[in-house]
Amino acid sequence: MKRRVLLLVPVLVLFLSSHAPAWDGWCFSQRKQPMGDSFRSARDNQVLNPDAARDLTPVYGLDGEAAERVYHRYLQTFEKPSKGSTTILNIGGIMSGGSGQ
């Protein structure tokens, strides 16, 4: 009899734990939290002025020529670098050449 009880208890625990999602409204009400609230809160906190699209006053800052220079300098960062001299720093070791010595 004790052997049956000892076998029945783990089986009952496994059975009840496998059906736990069915009890969601009964004992697991803490899981029903609104999803995405943290993301939306972080995103909305990054907006400096939510009514900026309605504001038609001119923006003070870079003029057109300065902005164009900045933009072209930004585009140049994506170009391949020219093949110039290469500097190799040898720190703490001896570089051997192709002579086999």
Per-residue pLDDT at 101: 47
Determine the Cα–Cα distance for residues 71 and 78; give it in Å rounded to an integer. 12
Burial 13-33 (b: 16+ CB within 10 A, else e): eeeeeeeeeeeeeeeeeeeee
Question: Contact 24/31 with Cβ under 8 angstroms?
Answer: yes
Q: What is the mean pLDDT of residues 9-18?
A: 76
Q: Which tens digit of pLDDT belongs to each residue from 40-88?
A: 888 888 888 888 888 888 878 888 899 999 999 999 999 877 676 777 7
Q: Which tens digit of pLDDT belongs to each residue from 24-39?
A: 555 555 556 677 888 8
Per-residue pLDDT at 35: 79
